[in-house]
Amino acid sequence: MSEHEVTLTVNGERRRVRAEPRKTLADLLRQDLLLTGTHLACEHGVCGSCTVLVDGMAIRSCLMFGVQADGSEVTTVEGLAGEEPGSLGPVQRAFREEHGLQCGFCTPGFVVSVTAFLDECPDPADEQIREALSGNLCRCTGYQGIVRAVRLAARLRREEQGRAEQGRAEPEGSR
């Protein structure tokens, strides 16, 4: 089968790979780009473990061909880390602090899904959180820690956004 050149921006870095048309985006990320944070479980789009952001939208990378991502911006769980090397982003910190993970296999998909959800709904009610999480499966936690983690992540993101806005509003030289 012939390969096609695929150019995409992954976690802010422009990448070019050759891929067979039948290769999923999940396999392209894991095998060709060595970004193994995107996990594969059901490979039918049911569990959410392979969730990534494509042009800002949460998608199941096991259901999308890599060639379909040509020209797109893809964010994996690795791209959601904090700005300092080795640091965690707010959603990742919240999952750690609220024990929103146990074995950790489903966690990358949850982190990416929650990030997309909080982009659209920065101050969600518990019912909205549960609805947003309904597309991701976890076999270990019982979901209570995950719901608490989403609440905390929402608060952390709002606080960080408030600090960033306050920093931009201060006149030059007052810092």
Question: Residue 104 in contact with residue 15, Cβ under 8 Å?
Answer: no
Same domain, 54 and 137: no
Tens digits of residue pLDDT in 40-81: 999 999 999 999 999 999 999 999 999 999 999 999 999 999
Compute the distance between CA of residue 23 and CA of residue 163 in angstroms, rounded to an integer: 42
Q: Are residues 87 and 37 in the same domain?
A: no
- Pair 89, 117 in one domain: yes
Task: Return the beta strands (E) in 35-123 as ranges.
Answer: 51-54, 57-60, 73-75
122 with 162, same domain? yes
Task: Assign residue 57 the CATH number of its domain.
Answer: 3.10.20.30
Same domain, 62 and 95: no
Domain count, the chain: 2
168 contact partners, CB below 8 Å, separation of at least 6 = none
Same structural domain, 65 and 111: no
Q: Tell me the pLDDT tens digit for each residue of 87-121.
A: 999 999 999 999 999 888 999 999 999 999 999 99
Give the contacts of 55 (CB within 8 A, at least 6 positions apart).
72, 73
Domain containing 44 equals: 4-79
- The stretch 22-51 carries a mean pLDDT of 96
Do 47 and 98 fall within a single domain? no
CATH number at residue 154: 1.10.150.120
From the list 9, 10, 38, the residue with the least C-alpha distance to 24 is: 38
Buried b (16+ CB within 10 A) or exposed e, 34-55: ebebbbbbeeeeebbbbbbbbe
Q: Are residues 114 and 168 in the same domain?
A: yes
Taking alpha carbons only, the member of 12, 154, 10 closest to residue 83 is 12
Residues 169 and 91 in one domain: yes
Q: Distance between CA atoms of 95 and 104, rounded to whole angstroms?
A: 10
Same domain flag for 104 and 62: no
